[in-house]
Amino acid sequence: MIQRREFNKLAALAAASAAAQARAQQSSPAPKPATNDGITWDKAPCRFCGTGCHVRVGVKNDRVVAIEGDQLAEVNKGLLCVKGYHVGLALYGKDRLTQPLLRRNGVLEPISWEEAIETISQKIMAAPEQFAIYGSGQWTIPEGYAANKFIKGGLGSNHIDPNARLCMASAVTGFLSVYGVDEPAGCYDDLDKCDVLIMWGNNMAEMHPVLFSRVMDRRTRGEKVTIIDLGTRRTRTTEFSDHYLEFRPHSDLAIMNGIAHLLIKQNAFDPKFVERFCNFRKAPKDPLATPSAPLHGDAMSFEDYKAALEPYTPELVEKLSGVPAEQIRMLAGLFANKDIRITSTWCMGFNQHSRGTNANRLCHGIHLLSGHFGRPGDAPTSLTGQPSACGTAREVGTMCHFLPGGRLILNPEHRKETETIWNVPEGRINPKIGHHTVLMWEKFCTPADKGGDIRTLWVQVTNPGQSLPNLHKLFKAKAGQPDKFLIVSDVYRTATTELADLVLPSAMWVEKNGMFGNSERRTQQWFRMVKPPGDARDDAWQMIAVARRLHDLGHAGMKDKDGRFLFTLKNDKGEEVPVWEWPRYYDMNVDKALFEEYRAFSRYKHKDLAPYDEYVKARGLRWPVVQQQDGTWRETKFRFSEFDDPYVKKGAEIQFYHSVTKDDKALIWFAPAEKAAEEPDADFPFWLCTGRVLEHWHTGSMTRRIPQLHAAMPHSYVEMHPEDARERGLANGETIVVKTRRGELRLPVWIDGRGHPPRGSLFIPFFDERLMCNDLTLGEVDPISKEPDYKKCAATVARASSAP
Amino acid sequence: MPEEPTKSRQFETSLIVGGIVVLVAISGYFVGLRQTTSALSQTRAVEVVSAETHRDLTGAKDVPVAVRYIDQDWSQHGTNAKWRNSLVDFQQPAAAAPSPDKPVPLEVKMAALQARAGRRAYDGAPPTVPHPITQDSSAACLACHGQGLQVKDRFASKISHPTFGGSCTQCHVTSRGAFTAAESALFAVALTENSFQGAEAPPNGPRAWPGAPPTIPHRTLMRSDCASCHGPKGLFALRTPHPERQSCTQCHVPAAANDQRLFMSAPPLDAVKKAAPIAVPAPLAIPPPNP
């Protein structure tokens, strides 16, 4: 009986993978069994944020017609947010780009794909070292991998950086300098187990609604969870919180030092945990001593650490942050209690911070110091904003200083390993770090004779014309420079295509095969379900087609050691397929071939990935995914903890096996509270903070074309405290001018609307391409992560009518 | 004696009158207690930037003063002010709820489904909210939608997924915008059209024979409380003719093809799909309205 059931199950499995194989290689979406209403359903991760919900996509007559939360997905358990429920509509804005467009005499005119590929190839051939790629945390894993290999392994250049630099670079430097390896140790399961959830400058109710509901629904079921919101303005999240601690912008560093101070003063830290698993660090005396000096820091004794924290009394912290000493004591009291489990989450509040690396470090630090680490529910966890910031930007390493799998450009051994896997000659990979995002755009916008050494820039799957800070300097300055050539692959016209010289129409989401990696180390896979509109094509194909054209034009870098084309891809039968010819692209599963090649990189930092086919069967798997004795593949929920992580030694309990100090210990950093890069003064008396809203995803290029979302949030606004408005005689809804040292913006003021900033504080969301708050933002970067601060600068307001 | 009965009647009358007065007074007292709500809950919380407001709540100048009754006219200004103030314009219900001897004609039902579809991108999408909402909190949603509410021909539908009780605005956004029409006209960019065509709600569920209980024709994820649409606060045409019977799935079974949780132990998607169609009979012709 049991045998028979097992047999049936195996048969079903075999049939399933065979069918999946067949589907993946079809050049058109394969027919699948339809339900009685003619709709066929398939799984895919949501296109939008980094939560990584799985949706079921309902397809009928080659069009997406319905979306459902996937109940088999552990992340969302059948629930979605309003963006997720409407994600299918993102494909059907009537102004989808359907053919390549080249700017001639200032006008974008249709051209053929051959012409487009030829144009790009000629531009690169003319000056390969002045070519750069600006990519995205929305690239699928294989797309990012193809771009990374093309430029680093083919062109021998490291001028590639993703928009993820603008959103989680500080989280990366935080993880690297504390644990020696990137990405959270915990996962979303912590949200099911924690007694206390602390959200550090993190409006989870709007930005990660499904995760927020995962906690709120525990309350509905009668469980007790204490919710603490630390913020610089009241939000929807505040409404659900037990405690709201409002702090002065940038003073989060002081608050965390205050907690550490009290833990030590009251002898309430966890000496056993600290003794066994931690070392202490401070910023290096000479940050330029070695390239990794800022990440490794200088050793510091516990006594030194104690002394450094000495000044951060609750009273001083109150003075710096505005949070009452009592509340600081309350927070410290929670960390002092080992019987409760505390999960910290953060997102852009810590990361888009001119001391973002330090903010990340200090948060890990108080968890380590108090021993609130390594048990389910006890975790410091950063959340990401893009669906594959972790998978593509961080793990594939599409950044200017990374190689795949957590390797570094500056490390000769890492370069050599990478060259071996790519089978390219030794020395092919350039040992010099490329330009990070802000520098890349600065160089692109600067004339060549003034040191602007980037001439051709290819943007894929992102909208920097709206999302970069200080747009006048970093983007708009490109206008009127005929020797600068901007290539943009996208699905709609955006603020970026406004200045593009060549626009390429891309396939999106379920119009192509794909893989994403979410915030909790979960790698996800989906198949193409519908055909892209018109002549839109996959981003990875675009990259490979250009590589092939360069190969044919004689660029030596496009060949490996054995003289074979860099992207020589074979189908499951071992036959080579010329995938650079678009009609042949889906004759094999290019995603699978690229992923299997990339997988070889994943074991070095113990970020082990399973074979492609395992992801076909699963709703994502969290790395390290390790093969068991019986041949099955097991994911890891809690990294560094012996009870779950197979790489931890028996008996170690907790082992930081990529420790910076090579002794299996994590680093607790001291970092001082510092002032923001620009603070309010007499001329610019307001703090200006920017961010997101529930209805729109980032620059809104997709969500603003979805009628339901557009109707709910049709345009941007500036939030202001009612007293500030009253003093200036401003009425709700009135048009005002917000001005900073970099620009000005006219938009309506919204008092007591979605959020409530305190006195002297403004907030503008960044989704609206007509009301672009990044004309105002400062763009000061964290010195270690190079991530800009979008959350703090000085501004002033005036009535629109009285403004000059 | 004639005086005697008159006296006792007077006594009886005064006893009744006195009793009524006392009863009215007592119940009035308690009713009054219940209705005296504080307007504090309608005001914004204190801004907490300064430490003083935290520590010293007595005598601090920032502490909100109790709002006077005359200032409590929030219903004139709240997000739903227009909605509330137009109650008089609502019509008496034109249609009557279905009953066992008066089934709903198909075209009436289709019209109701059409109305329902107007607020959804596709069948199964979370409906948008047809009135303005409080932007910063979901706290008030369940006041009307927790149990459902009817005022003349207007209905606040009952929540269909009570276990997700918290963050309503996570899925339900208003179709009436966050701003006034004038502001939106000034600032909102005209939206490019969207050519998405959502799946439509299936009509009647198939029946094994005329008169048999129909199976549930639609998916039931997030629609676990049937009463939300089919109960006494649902659209007339969609209501059950037998609201007194509470255990819907005793007679009306969901189609297995619509249950995505089937075969949990066998994760491969295709295995799920292959197995799914077992319980789906071919849809039968829609039975005549009066069997």
pLDDT at A35: 62
Taking each helix axis from N to C terminus, what angle separates A325-336 and A356-369, rounded to the nearest 10 degrees? 50
* pLDDT, mean of residues A145-172: 97
CA of A323 vs chain B CAs: smallest distance (Å): 6
- A101-165+389-588: CATH architecture: 3-Layer(aba) Sandwich (3.40)
A167 is catalytic: yes
pLDDT at B63: 60
| Model pLDDT for residues B6-38, shown as the tens digit of each residue | 667 788 888 888 888 888 888 777 655 554 433
pLDDT at A507: 98
Q: Which residue of B has its CA nearest to A60?
A: B199
User: Where residue B125 falls among pLDDT bands split at 50, 70, 90?
Assistant: very high
| Model pLDDT for residues A12-33, shown as the tens digit of each residue | 444 444 455 455 554 444 445 5
Identify which has the larger pLDDT, A13 or B262: B262
What Å distances lie between residue A780 and A346, A676, A678, A777, CA to CA?
A: 20, 10, 9, 9
pLDDT at A535: 97
State yes or no: pLDDT of A804 exceeds 90: no
Handedness of CA A422, A427, A431, A437 (dihedral sign): negative
With helix as H, strand as E and coil as C, how does A609-635 read?
CCCHHHHHHCCCEECCCEECCCCCEEC
Interchain proximity B187–A721, CB inside 8 Å: no
State yes or no: pLDDT of B284 exceeds 90: no
CA of B21 vs chain A CAs: smallest distance (Å): 44
Rounded CA-CA distance A735/A746 in Å is 6
Interchain proximity A92–B202, CB inside 8 Å: no
State yes or no: pLDDT of B165 exceeds 70: no
The proportion of chain A whose per-residue pLDDT surpasses 70, expressed as a percent, equals: 95
Which residues on B lie below 8 Å from A209 (Cβ)? 167, 170
pLDDT at B166: 80
Interchain proximity A13–B170, CB inside 8 Å: no
Q: Which residue of B has its CA nearest to A758?
A: B47
**Three-state SS at A477:** helix
Q: Residues A52, A385, A743, A755: which is the catalytic one?
A: A385
List all residues 6 or more positions away from B209 whose beta carbon is below 8 Å from its beta carbon. none
Q: Which residues of A189-199 are buried (b: 16+ CB within 10 A; e: fewer)?
A: bbbebbbbbbb
Rounded CA-CA distance A4/A692 in Å is 54
A452 is catalytic: no
Adjacent-strand bridge partners of A762: A688
Interchain proximity B191–A707, CB inside 8 Å: yes
- Identify the H or E element spanning B210: none
State yes or no: pLDDT of A250 exceeds 60: yes
Q: Residues A43, A83, A637, A786: which is the catalytic one?
A: A83
Q: Which residues of A526-551 are buried (b: 16+ CB within 10 A; e: fewer)?
A: bbbbbebbebbbbbbbbbbbbbbbbb
Write the residue in A9, A20, A323 that is nearest to B266 by C-beta: A9
Rounded CA-CA distance A537/A541 in Å is 7
Which residues on A lie below 8 Å from B172 (Cβ)? 82
The proportion of chain A whose per-residue pLDDT surpasses 90, expressed as a percent, equals: 91
pLDDT at B69: 60
**Three-state SS at A324:** coil
| Model pLDDT for residues A445-502, shown as the tens digit of each residue | 999 999 999 999 999 999 999 999 999 999 999 999 999 999 999 999 999 999 999 9
State CA A353 to chain mean position distance: 15
List all residues 6 or more positions away from A281 whose beta carbon is below 8 Å from its beta carbon. A177, A296, A297, A298, A299, A300, A667, A668, A669, A670
Interchain proximity A209–B170, CB inside 8 Å: yes
Q: pLDDT averaged over chain A?
A: 94
Q: Which of A64-78, A136-150, A151-165, B210-224 has the lowest mean pLDDT?
A: B210-224
Contact A636, A626 (CB under 8 A): yes
Q: Which fold has domain A169-383+662-670?
A: Dimethylsulfoxide Reductase; domain 2 (3.40.228)
* pLDDT, mean of residues B116-129: 94
Write the residue in B257, B264, B270 that is nearest to A20 by C-beta: B270
Interchain proximity A325–B51, CB inside 8 Å: yes
Interchain proximity B49–A37, CB inside 8 Å: no
Question: Cα angle vertex A520, ends A519, A526, to 5°?
Answer: 75
Segments making up each domain of chain A, as ranges = 1-31, 101-165+389-588, 169-383+662-670, 686-799
A330 is catalytic: no
Q: Residues A199, A348, A400, A515: which is the catalytic one?
A: A348
Rounded CA-CA distance A136/B239 in Å is 49
User: Where residue B3 falls among pLDDT bands split at 50, 70, 90?
Assistant: low
Q: Which CATH number fits domain A686-799: 3.30.9.10, 3.40.50.10330, 3.40.1550.10, 2.40.40.20?
A: 2.40.40.20
Rounded CA-CA distance A458/A206 in Å is 32
Which residues on B lie below 8 Å from A706 (Cβ)? 121, 194
| Model pLDDT for residues A74-96, shown as the tens digit of each residue | 999 999 999 999 999 999 999 99
A628 is catalytic: no
pLDDT at B271: 35
Taking the Cβ of residue B276 and every Cβ of chain A, the question of whether any pair is shorter than 8 Å is answered with yes
CA of A768 vs chain B CAs: smallest distance (Å): 9
Rounded CA-CA distance A93/A533 in Å is 11
CA of A77 vs chain B CAs: smallest distance (Å): 10
pLDDT at B70: 58
A168 is catalytic: yes
| Model pLDDT for residues A708-724, shown as the tens digit of each residue | 999 999 999 999 999 99
